[in-house]
Structure 1
Amino acid sequence: MAEFSGPFDGSPIATQAQWSGMAKRFGLDGVHAVDPSNTSLAVTGSGATTVAVAPGRASVNGYYYHSSSTKSLTVPANSGSSARIDLVVLRADPTTSKAVTAEYKTGGSTAPTLTQTDDGTWEIPLAQCTVAAGSAVVTAANVADRRWFTDRGAVPSVPGARRPSVKNQLLVEGSSLYVGDGAAWRWLASPGIEDGSYTPAWTAGTTTISWGSGSQNIGRYQVSGRRVDLTIQLQPSGNPPAYTDPISVTLPPGLPSVSDSRSLFTWNYDSGNGEGVALGVAVVYPTVSTAKIARLRYGLSNGTTQATTPNAGALFTNQPFNIRSGDVLTISGTYWTA
């Protein structure tokens, strides 16, 4: 098999096939427009035996197309007994016409198949037209927009020196991605962690809690920008001592909570030892640590009237439940990282 590469001195891009093979990788096929509100190469029905293709530009399999004026296409008569579904296409023909042209392509009960031969005829759609039985008339209502659009890729930007917003344009600034709406650049995404897991460290005060050598103790998290989604699940295989300090547990390594607020999670306890089920709130106290959940709290009943001051208790290894083998403790929630 012969090899070709170019353009180099002595090895230029010399044929249309070489140009198409290279240029089609520059971008996708489509009309050069940002959204359907742009009328570039839009098709309209005249209510007569023609449809009109508006001026515009496009790329078709590596070939450039530009029409500077409206082009009228004749609608072939439908001699059948049912409605016919046709297409208006841009057709690149490197063999016969050696050009890209707008063409009317008849179908049947369904739209005709696009011809897409990589080194031969290649078509992309502009519109779908429905022609009634015994008619050659296409009204405006019987034309459906089927244009493919293509535009520039994401453009880089210097912070504080952004270009004016371009509708549907992607912009990369630092490590963040924005999309333009024509008036402003709207934040779209920032780098994160697709998914991750870690082994949470459980403590009571300064003492490490051992839940047993066969315990299931896993934290799963996903990061999007500065937001962290976290789930921790603990299934002890042993029975730790009754420590005098509340239970706390670490957040994912390298992802501390913000220091200006108390991040909240929910926790759920299911006893396999006949001690019931409970639900509560887990809290990060930045004054204690931004790297761990410092308290797992649950509501206490101090009275039966609205005037009674509410209170909450902290979860210990043995209060209000004796957490041990057969039990399941789950913590889940979202927090902002620093």
Structure 2
Amino acid sequence: MAFTSYPFSSSPLATEAQYALTASRWGNDGVHTDDLSSTALKVTANGTANVSIAAGSAFVNGATTENDGPYSLPVISNSGGPSARRDLVVLRYDASADSITPVYKTGGTSAPGLTSSPETGVVEIPLAECTVAAGASVVASGAVVDRRWGVGRPVAYGTPGARRPSRKGQLLVEGNDIYLGDGVGWNFLATAGDTSWTAYTPVWSAGASTINFGSGASKGRYKIVGKTCFLEIQVIPTTNPAATTDPLSVSLPAVAKGVIRDLFTVHLESSNGEGIWNGIAMIFPTVSLTKISRIRVNRSDGQVDNMYTNEPINFRNDDILTISGFYEMA
């Protein structure tokens, strides 16, 4: 046994099998279209003994076929069948016949399988599934289900300042950002790379006043996955802040999209004998997209209070406030 390499000057491509083995990796098998709502190679029926294949082209096992259509393909009768039969219209690559041709392939109560044997030179891809009623020799207009595959396009790379026109179904990579084209614009999908936590220092305020809980008292961390920001904030005061007349709020590490009021869980624990409290924190889009605008905790009587520096407990040295959750970024 030995390795064979091609194409080189001393060993060019010599056979169809060598070409197919090479070219079949250049692209996916399927119909040449960016959008399967198109009519490229689409199969239709009108209640006659033939189905029609629209104009179009396709790539199968490294080779291309074109149909200047419409092309009429005979239906195989189910005149002796006791029940409806599910068939396939396929494109068949056949190396021995030097062709890619449409084939009407009969099944049974389920559609037939596809042949995919590049080694023997026969590869099929589906165009449509057709149902032939028991005793019938025709396919009704509503008895065709589209089964086409789209070839698609290789992943494109670019930069935001020189972005190419959008193609439907095209993936675009810019740095670590991944986008999907819809034919009009580019829709953000995700950011690849490190999703570890990043530290930040939350800024606390009450109305127009900045609140100081002491050096190193307020800590935060976040991680971004796609357009979702996961967030944790903890405050353990090292000094007693002044009483406030406005509810407490705290800055976010990234601007919120603000479609709805994003919610976070809150746990408040006094180290000064005032108990344990649980509640929620909220981003109010109408107030600010850069901070959590309200922290609300549940009282023992079932009521809910906004949190101030001195309500519902006198939040002071060694007390612990924890906020955690996630929100959608702009």
TM-score (norm 2): 0.72
Kept after mapping to 2: 8 A contact 1:31/1:58: yes
* RMSD of equivalent CA atoms: 4.4
User: For residue 325 of structure 2, what is the aligned residue in structure 1?
Assistant: 332
User: For residue 308 of structure 2, what is the aligned residue in structure 1?
Assistant: 313
Q: Equivalents in 2 of 1:321, 1:278: separation in Å?
A: 17
Spell out, residue by residue over 1:186-208, the C-alpha distance to the aligned partner (whole angstroms, 9 max, x if none): 33235355632367889974434
Q: Equivalents in 2 of 1:241, 1:161: separation in Å?
A: 49
Count of aligned pairs: 298
User: For residue 269 of structure 1, what is the aligned residue in structure 2?
Assistant: 267
> What's the offset of the Cα at 1:271?
5.4
Give the 5 Å matches for 1:17-166.
Answer: 17-78=17-78, 79-95=80-96, 97-120=97-120, 121-157=122-158, 159=160, 161-166=162-167
Kept after mapping to 2: 8 A contact 1:257/1:335: no
Spell out, residue by residue over 1:121-142, the C-alpha distance to the aligned partner (whole angstroms, 9 max, x if none): 1111000010011111112211
> What's the offset of the Cα at 1:328?
8.2
> What's the offset of the Cα at 1:282?
8.0
Change (3 A) 1:109 1:299: closer
Kept after mapping to 2: 8 A contact 1:170/1:178: yes
User: For residue 11 of structure 2, what is the aligned residue in structure 1?
Assistant: 11
Give the 5 Å matches for 1:262-301.
Answer: 266-269=264-267, 275-279=275-279, 281=281, 297=295
Kept after mapping to 2: 8 A contact 1:298/1:315: no
Kept after mapping to 1: 8 A contact 2:85/2:108: yes
Kept after mapping to 1: 8 A contact 2:91/2:102: yes
| SS of alignment partner, residue 314 of structure 1 | coil
Query: Which letter does structure 1 place at the counterpart of 2:325?
Result: S
Q: Equivalents in 2 of 1:181, 1:312: separation in Å?
A: 45
Q: Equivalents in 1 of 2:266, 2:125: separation in Å?
A: 55
Change (3 A) 1:36 1:267: closer
User: For residue 197 of structure 1, what is the aligned residue in structure 2?
Assistant: 197
Kept after mapping to 1: 8 A contact 2:200/2:221: yes
Q: Equivalents in 2 of 1:30, 1:134: separation in Å?
A: 33
Change (3 A) 1:241 1:157: closer
User: For residue 224 of structure 1, what is the aligned residue in structure 2?
Assistant: 226
| SS of alignment partner, residue 129 of structure 1 | strand
> What's the offset of the Cα at 1:5?
2.4
Change (3 A) 1:55 1:201: closer
Q: Equivalents in 1 of 2:44, 2:107: separation in Å?
A: 18
Kept after mapping to 2: 8 A contact 1:45/1:138: yes
| SS of alignment partner, residue 52 of structure 1 | strand
> What's the offset of the Cα at 1:109?
0.5
Q: Equivalents in 2 of 1:294, 1:205: separation in Å?
A: 17
Spell out, residue by residue over 1:295-330, the C-alpha distance to the aligned partner (whole angstroms, 9 max, x if none): 9955899xxxxxxxx9851389x8348867xx8834
Q: Equivalents in 2 of 1:299, 1:133: separation in Å?
A: 68
Query: Which letter does structure 2 place at the counterpart of 1:76?
Result: I
Change (3 A) 1:274 1:90: farther
Gaps of at least 5 residues in structure 2 are 204-211, 243-247, 256-261, 284-289, 300-304
| SS of alignment partner, residue 22 of structure 2 | helix
> Of 189, 193, 215, which aligns to 1:207?
215
